[in-house]
Amino acid sequence: MNKPVDRITLRRPDDWHVHLRDGPMLQVVAGYTARQFARAIVMPNLTPPVTTAVAAAAYAARIRAALPPDSDFQPLMTCYLTDTLEADEVERGWQQGAWVAAKLYPAHATTNSAHGVTNLDAIAPVLERMQRIGMVLAVHGEVTDPAVDVFDREAVFIERSLIPLTERYPELKIVFEHITTAEAADFVLSRPHHLGATVTAHHLAINRNAMFQGGIRPHHYCLPVAKRERHRLALVKAATSGDARFFLGTDSAPHLARDKESACGCAGLFTAASAIELYAEIFDAAGAIDKFEAFASLNGPAFYGLPVNAGTVTLERSPSAVPARIDALDNYVVPFRAGESLSWRMA
Ligand code: NCD
Ligand code: ZN
């Protein structure tokens, strides 16, 4: 047997899907992402959502202002698609560098998605334009039909929306965000190009049992919801394969503890405090630490058509502590694996 690797150096990684929020929560969480990642694709589901180039530029400036002046962290902004957004505005924001991608939330699929798209036909001109200019479409891949079981919403989305989308716009670059099922991993692998997927650390780490371990566990509830163990195993296989279509996206989504520990708790896990260590544990356990750089630092930039980062980070097999709680506003955020020790840390 090979000696286990205890230290790896990789190109600085990026997070291709994160929620940084705004206002006081942004002040709390921005530093965690910037400590680990050179860039991040920042989700636009604020209230109100980010739908104009002006709003995206202002939000990017607020993110930079929340970080120390010597931070070189680069927020990569996204535009929130609505039924009424104009193709010209989407293209203008992209040409100006206000955003690098547009986010498709099916209306009411998840947190702050009430303004999302009700029908793909409504955004046909926008999708045509994005296909023409080579702009990435990031998709929350779940149907919202209440008749569909919550655990089936991703797989049904492939049939009802993603297949028609890829057929209608064969050259459109699509990221199937935070995939949670074997069906999603297989569908991505069935397409030769233009379809990629982000995989979160928590969907690689837990299955749906974690939500019900000895009682209801709101801090393991997110959307898309965690699935059965066989799906988790399929995600681990895909992410650790080195295949260029899979890349790192934490979907770290902070909510106050009181909003999660409630009769109608919010969806979202906060992983940004230890994201790179969480992923390193998974790749290590899968015997695939040699594939980690592709997943964390190379595949995402290649898909988005951006350069890889200059500089490197080193991870070592050495304990790192996840905070038990992180003070926020007049309450706190409970991070994923709060208070536990992880077996890797960033040197
Ligand atoms: C996200 C949030 O809280 O903004 N929640 C989540 O469970 N992932 C929204 C999302 O990405 O679905
Ligand atoms: Zn998200």
pLDDT surpasses 70 at 2:
no
In ligand 1, which atom is closest to the CA atom of 105? Answer: 12
Is 111's pLDDT higher than 90? no
In testing the pocket of ligand 1, which one of 45, 105, 110, 208 has its CB within 8 Å of the most ligand atoms?
Answer: 110
Mean pLDDT for the stretch of residues 13-20 = 98
Q: Residue with the nearest Cα to atom 11 of ligand 1?
A: 251
Per-residue confidence at 318, pLDDT binned at 50, 70, 90? Answer: very high
**DSSP H helical ranges for the chain:** 23-36, 53-65, 87-96, 124-133, 153-157, 163-168, 182-190, 201-205, 229-239, 257-260, 275-285, 292-293, 299-304
pLDDT of residue 54: 97
The predicted pLDDT at position 112 comes to 81
Give the model confidence (pLDDT) of 166-212 as tens digits. 999 999 999 999 999 999 999 999 998 899 999 999 999 999 999 99
Cα of 60 to ligand 1 centre, how many Å?
Answer: 19
Ligand (nearest to CA of 41): 2
Structure tokens at 269: 């896990």
Q: Are 250 and 200 in contact (CB under 8 A)?
A: yes
Q: CA torsion, points 122, 48, 101, 172, in degrees to nearest 10?
A: -10
Measured distance CA(294)–CA(243) in Å, rounded: 8
Q: Which atom of ligand 1 is nearest to the CA of 45?
A: 4
Ligand 1, atom 4, residue with closest C-alpha: 111
Query: How far, in Å, is the centroid of ligand 1 from the Cα of 1?
Result: 41
Let me know if 251 is a catalytic residue: yes
pLDDT of residue 101: 98
- Report the nearest-CA residue for atom 6 of ligand 1: 268
pLDDT in tens, 200-224: 999 999 999 999 999 999 999 999 9
Residue tagged active-site, from 14, 15, 243, 251: 251
| Predicted confidence (pLDDT) per residue in 125-157, tens digit | 999 999 999 999 999 999 999 999 999 999 999
Distance 196 CA to ligand 1 centre (A): 19
Residues 6+ apart with CB under 8 A from 152: none
Mean pLDDT of 292-304: 98
Radius of gyration of the chain, Cα coordinates, nearest whole angstrom: 19
Determine the distance separating the centroid of ligand 2 and the alpha carbon of 252, expressed in angstroms: 7
Residue 28: the pLDDT is 98
Whole-number Å distance, alpha carbon 267 to ligand 1 midpoint, is 6
Nearest CA to ligand 1 atom 5: 268
User: Which residues sit with their C-beta closer than 6 Å to ligand 1?
Assistant: 19, 45, 110-111, 140, 222-223, 251, 253, 267-268
pLDDT of residue 3: 73
Quick one: pLDDT at residue 1? 52
Mean per-residue pLDDT of the chain: 97
**Is 52:286 a contact under the CB 8 Å cutoff?**
no
Ligand nearest to the CA of 29: 1
Per-residue burial over 86-103, b = 16 or more CB atoms within 10 Å of its CB, e = otherwise: ebebbbebbeeebbbbbb
Residue listed under structure tokens 């905070």:
323
Structural domains of the chain ordered from first start: 9-311 (3.20.20.140)
